[in-house]
Each structure stands twice: as structure tokens, then as C-alpha cells.
Amino acid sequence: MNKNKEQLLNKRYKAEQRFRLYGLSAIFMALLFLTIFIFKIFSTGYSAFQKTWLIVPVTFDAELMMLDQNPSKEDLQDADYYDIALKSMADLDPNANEDQENELKRMVSYFFEKEIKNELLNDPNLIGKTKEVYLTASDDLDQVFKGNYPRDLPEDQRRVNDYQLKIFDQLVANGKVESKFNISFFTNADSREAELAGIASSFMGSIFSILVCLMIAFPVAVLAAIYLEEFAPKNRFTDFIEVNINNLAAVPSIVFGLLGLGVLLAIFQLPRSTPLVGGITLSLMTLPTIIIAARASLKAVPPSIREAALAMGASRMQTTMHHTVPLSMPGTLSGTIIGLAQALGETAPLILIGMVAFVNTIPGSPMDPAASLPVQIYIWAESAERGFVEKVSACIMVLLGFLIIMNLFAQIIRHKFEKKWS
């Protein structure tokens, strides 16, 4: 009998040990996947935060720019920079023929004319002088410089030909190629040229969408939750509503996109591709999540608190507003953050309402066309140019950073609330 008991006890301990082992290995697996994922993203993406510049001597020849003596500011604005820009690139190889001159021009971004113009506008005294100007390298050379470009491919399969590589290598040898922090990745809108493309438009688009979503979804959801939990009679009708809210939470997001397309764009004629429509569509998606979270946290408030307030002669409304709702706020807020985080990463409904359009302006309000970060990832991932590969990862990094900051913010708010109420 005693021996039996000991065996049984041993068995129970062993079972517990095994269980702990399973738990640990599950956590280990999760961490492993996370590490691999983050490593992959970072190792591909980090280079996108660097940008390659060619340092090219530019002679600001007044004659080529068709400028008179003592030009005014407007004259400088309207001057023709194409010729001096072209000339400074062609001068990189004095022996270049016409075809080769064209190829030299393609070593920098099509924006190079503007970059030269800005240089002169900043310092009008440069007229007639020569200055070394930083020009954005083309995306392919950018990749060459970062070592991401397969130089050993046959020439006809490369977008950079041998001639360009030769000149580029000379520049590198002379120290005329420099890598700097890629500010334009954060300040530029999207572009067809990988070296100029940035996330400013989609970042602002995401922020505006989330704000619209929050402003619509949060009050509606919280009011609905409070009413259902604290005021509504429990009958078949409210049961029916509850079931349907749960159903709504399970509806695939693309369906909400179709709804936005069919109702917001087709019937209400709201402007296409805007964060306003995106935000409203996302709010439909976030609504059930917040309602469910808010109801759960209202339910978690102990009934004794409600009874205490009611017994003091507080009306139902006072009981709810003075006690139940503030106590449930931390839970509601974290539910809201989860909902918003979902919305932030949502792509499908935004594609349907046209936020996938190519937008090369930065939106100043929710009424301007914009993309959003996940859609931007989708657009870039579809692009053929090698330069976009690292941009996809970089954009994912920004999106993740955004999410982490949001969660941190939520935690801080939550913490403050909880301190106040316990």
C-alpha cells in the first residue's frame, strides 16, 4: 500500500516535470521563430536606411543655363539645368561617345537635375564656378555599392552594364562614392524609382487611417458595450445582438473592404484612396474587437462594487460612469490597442477601397489620397527592381516599430489607470 502510494507520487512528479518541459520547449520554439523572423527582416532591411551618393563636380556655366548677368531669384528658378547636369555626368569620362554619355546619365537618379538646381538656389554665388555635388546614385548602383548586386551575371541579364560598372569602380577608387543615412526614405512619398521611394505617404496614410478608425470605433464600441452590459435587458433580442457581434468579429477583413467599396465609395461618394474611407472601413473591423474587450472588462468589475454604489443611492448611470466604466478602462484600452494594431496591419480592405493606388504626394489630411504601410509593403514586394527588396524589409521594420510604440503607449496609459484605481 505504502509502496503503491510512493509510486503514484513519483508518477505525479514526473508528469509535472514532463509538462514543464513541454512548456519550455513551446516557448523556445516561439522565440526561435521570432528570432529568425527578426533576423531575416533586419539583415535584408537595414541597408535601406543607407543611401549611396555619387560626388560629381558640376560647373555652373551661366551660358549653358541660359542665364543673364546678375540673375534674379526667379531667373534661377526658371533656368535650364538639364544641360549642365548632363554635361557634368558626361565629363566623368572624357572619351565617352553619345551612347556612353546616356549610360553615364543613368548612373544617377532622374532627380539629379533638381539636386543640382537646389545646390545653386542655396548658394547663387556658385555661378561660373565648379563644385562637387552629391547626386543620388541609381538604385542599381546603390545595390552594387551595398554588395547586394550579382556582378558575375552575364552582362545582358544585368541592368548595370560593364561600362557603368567600370566608371563606378573608378569613382569608388577615388573616394567619390559615399554612403549616408537615407533621410529621403522617411521624407519622400512613394516613387517608381527605388532610390527615391520613401514611406512618408504611407506612414501618414496609416496614421490618418488609424486616427479615423479610433475616433469612430472607440466611442461607438464603448457605448455599445456599456449599454449591452449595464443597461440592456437580458432577453432573446440582446442574445441575438451578442451572437452577431461575435460573428462580426469573425468576418474576413476583405468583406469589410467590399462593404467600404460598395457603400462608402459607391453610395456616399466619399473620395477614393483616402485614409478617411480606409479608417471608416477599418473601424467596422475593429468595432467588434473593442466591443468584446470592453464587455469582458465590464463583466470583470466585481458586482459588489455596483451593489455598493447602488445601495448608496447612485442611479444606474452614476454607478456605471463613476465606478464600473473607470474600473473597466484598462481592459477596454488594451482591447482597443489590440484592435487598432490589427487594423494597422490590415491590407486587404484597403486594397479594395483603392488605397493601393500609386501615391507620390504626402497626404496632409484624411481627405487626401494615401497608401498605408502594409499596402506599401505589398506594392513594393510586387515591384521587380532589386532596389525595392530591402525597402520591403525596411518598411516592415518601420511598421513593427510603429506597433511597438503603440503598445508601449498603451501599457503606459494602462499602468497609470491601474495605479489610480487600486
> Where on the chain is the footprint of other proteins (CB under 8 A)?
233-234, 302, 304-315, 318, 322-323, 327, 421-422
- Report CA dihedral (349, 258, 332, 23) to the nearest 10 degrees: -60
Q: What cell does 313 get?
A: 443611492
Q: Which is nearer to other proteins, 305 or 338 (CB)?
A: 305
> Side-chain half-sphere of 275: how many Cα atoms within 13 Å?
29
- Minimum CB–partner distance for residue 313 and other proteins (Å): 4
270: which DSSP letter?
P
Closest distance to other proteins from the beta carbon of 228 (Å): 14
Q: How far, in Å, CA of 130 to CA of 197, rounded? A: 29
Least Cβ distance, residue 412 to other proteins (angstroms): 20
Q: Collect all residues with Cβ–Cβ distance below 8 Å to 77 and sequence separation of at least 6.
A: 121
CB of 293 to other proteins, least distance (A): 20
CA distance 389 to 163: 25
How near is the Cβ of 241 to other proteins at its closest, in Å? 16
Taking the C-alpha atoms of residue 278 and residue 271, their distance in angstroms, rounded to an integer, is 10
Helix (H) or strand (E) holding 133: strand 130-136
Distant-in-sequence, close-in-space partners of 172: CB < 8 Å, separation ≥ 6: 145
Choice between 306 and 386, CB closer to other proteins: 306
Look at residue 92 and give its three-state secondary structure. coil
Which of these, 410, 366, 405, lies nearest to 210 by C-alpha position? 366
Residue of 208, 210, 188, 213 lying closest to 359 (CA atoms): 188
**Closer by beta carbon to other proteins, 138 or else 319:** 319
In whole angstroms, the minimum distance from the beta carbon of 304 to other proteins comes to 4
Residue 311 CB, nearest approach to other proteins (Å): 4
Q: Which is nearer to other proteins, 167 or 228 (CB)?
A: 228
Q: How far is CA 346 from the centre of its chain?
A: 11
To other proteins, the closest distance from the beta carbon of 290 in angstroms equals 23
Instruction: Name the H helices within 60-181.
Output: 73-78, 82-90, 98-105, 112-122, 139-146, 162-173
